[in-house]
Amino acid sequence: MDYKFTTKCIYGDNTNNTCENTGAISFPIYQTATFAHPGLGSSTGYDYSRLQNPTREQLENVVCSLENGFDALAFSSGMAAITALMELFHPGDHVISGNDLYGGSIRLFNHINRKNQITFDFIDTSKDDIEKHITPSTKAIFIETPTNPMMNVTDIRKVASIARKHGLLFIVDNTFLSPYFQNPLDLGADVVVHSGTKFMGGHNDTLAGFIVVNSKELSEKLRFIFKTVGSGLAPFDSWLILRGIKTLAIRLERQQQNAFAIVQWLLTNEKVKNVYYPGLPDHPGYEISKLQSSGFGSMLTFEVESADLARHILGSVKLIRFAESLGGVETLITYPITQTHADVSDEDREKNGITETILRISVGIEDISDLINDLAQAF
């Protein structure tokens, strides 16, 4: 049966999981490292939890269903997922990447993958000519949309067309919108990655990462890497993310509603110079967002009149917490220049607009009047 999204958040595509025969409503945590075999040459289908575990398998089935993929793999963190993904490439390969990515991705590319002789061009994929950067050694295009933290929007269908034309792997980090608001595989991407720590888990209580692929070939390659490098998600953490995903749709609706209200409040504040949110009609990516996404999400970035004011706000919020991460039910405010993008060079931060006056908010599900009152007193 073809279930709707909110139903798939709870069951995936399979309401009768063959691993679970006790009738438990909450899928059990199979907290075991290994599995016994009935005899030589026979198996229950499970051997060792690094390879497969029923709790993680259930989570992977749900995530695969939400992204309309062929297969999904659950990792110990978002960065573990991207690290494993980069093992698809070889020395001498070239990757075209967005220039406004999560700082951890940039750190991985520049300090680990470059060491392994993979080369990168970092460009603004929302407006630069991607084809101009393609060389005979180019193997992939890697983007975030919207980007972290400047909320630039890239046309996924357009980039997918370029990737197909040149035989390139097309990878989309879909963390900011989650599969509830955006499904890159449906738009032509080959691979979707997520920091499951964020909206998927939704409660700031565990780490996780996902790779979702559109083909058997990619699944087989990544499953081999997955079992070899050993960064699969543990059973208890798999259960926590399963529990979080059950409320993904209703959380995202409330978070987006709150985000719109905060954006409108910020726009009326004379101490705010710019607000970056794809849901604003004057945002450069607004029309593209309407075509490729079903919502604008709950991430927003804004620029205040001075660095002193930015630091004052960070030290003055009470209900909103000054913390890294995003996507949880709690509203968090982040200072990208010293937190998420501290390892990005000053030159690259400046080029992307990440300055001492930039703040990023991940909007939660609190009462909106409490959030706005907290911002007002912090200002």
Q: What is the pLDDT of residue 347?
A: 81
Tokens 């996924």 map to which residue?
A: 156
Q: 273 and 134 share a domain? A: no
Q: What is the pLDDT of residue 162?
A: 98
Q: 240 and 308 share a domain? A: no
Q: 174 and 294 share a domain? A: no
Q: 163 and 287 share a domain? A: no
* CB-count exposure of residue 47 (10 Å: 0-12, 13-18, 19+): middle
Catalytic residue among 139, 198, 349, 360: 198
Other CB atoms within a 10 A radius of the CB of residue 236 amount to 12
The contacts of residue 188 (CB under 8 Å, 6+ apart) are 156, 157, 159, 160, 161, 163, 164, 170
Measured distance CA(57)–CA(206) in Å, rounded = 18
Q: Which of 201, 219, 245 is the last residue of a domain?
A: 245
Q: What is the pLDDT of residue 232?
A: 98
Q: 261 and 208 share a domain? A: no
Question: Is the peptide bond between 149 and the residue preceding it cis, with omega within 30 degrees of 0?
Answer: yes
86 DSSP 8-state letter? G
Q: 133 and 218 share a domain? A: yes
Q: Which of 214, 245, 276 is the last residue of a domain?
A: 245
Q: What is the pLDDT of residue 18?
A: 61
Residue range of the domain that includes 352: 250-378
Q: What is the pLDDT of residue 17?
A: 65
Q: 204 and 266 share a domain? A: no
What CATH number is attached to the domain comprising 254? 3.90.1150.10
The contacts of residue 168 (CB under 8 Å, 6+ apart) are 96, 134, 138, 139, 140, 141, 162
Angle at 281 between CA 275 and CA 286, to 5 degrees: 90
Q: What is the pLDDT of residue 349?
A: 82
Q: 206 and 286 share a domain? A: no
Where helices occur in the chain by DSSP H, the ranges are 5-11, 54-66, 78-85, 103-108, 156-166, 178-181, 216-229, 235-245, 248-267, 286-292, 307-316, 346-352, 368-378
Catalytic residue among 3, 11, 13, 50: 50
Q: 168 and 195 share a domain? A: yes
Q: What is the pLDDT of residue 213?
A: 98
Measured distance CA(42)–CA(46) in Å, rounded = 10
Tokens 């978002």 map to which residue?
A: 78
Strands 94-98, 138-144: pairing kind: parallel
Q: What is the pLDDT of residue 15?
A: 59
Share of the chain above pLDDT 70, in %: 98
pLDDT tens digit sequence for 14-55: 756 666 778 899 999 999 999 999 999 899 999 999 999 999
Q: Spell out the per-residue pLDDT of the chain, length 379, in tens.
A: 789 999 999 999 875 666 677 889 999 999 999 999 999 989 999 999 999 999 999 999 999 999 999 999 999 999 999 999 999 999 999 999 999 999 999 999 999 999 999 999 999 999 999 999 999 999 999 999 999 999 999 999 999 999 999 999 999 999 999 999 999 999 999 999 999 999 999 999 999 999 999 999 999 999 999 999 999 999 999 999 999 999 999 999 999 999 999 999 999 999 999 999 999 999 999 999 999 999 999 999 999 999 999 999 999 999 999 999 999 999 999 999 988 787 777 787 878 888 999 999 999 999 999 999 999 999 9
Q: What backbone phi and psi angles, to 5 degrees, belong to 120?
A: -135, 145
pLDDT tens digit sequence for 337-355: 988 787 777 787 878 888 9
Annotation says 198 is catalytic: yes
Q: 42 and 165 share a domain? A: yes
Annotation says 173 is catalytic: yes
Q: 51 and 199 share a domain? A: yes
What CATH number is attached to the domain comprising 61? 3.40.640.10
Q: Which of 221, 245, 269 is the last residue of a domain?
A: 245
Q: 109 and 165 share a domain? A: yes
Domain count, the chain: 2
Tokens 């089935």 map to which residue?
A: 61
Catalytic residue among 71, 100, 155, 173: 173
Q: What is the pLDDT of residue 346?
A: 79
Catalytic residue among 102, 180, 276, 335: 102
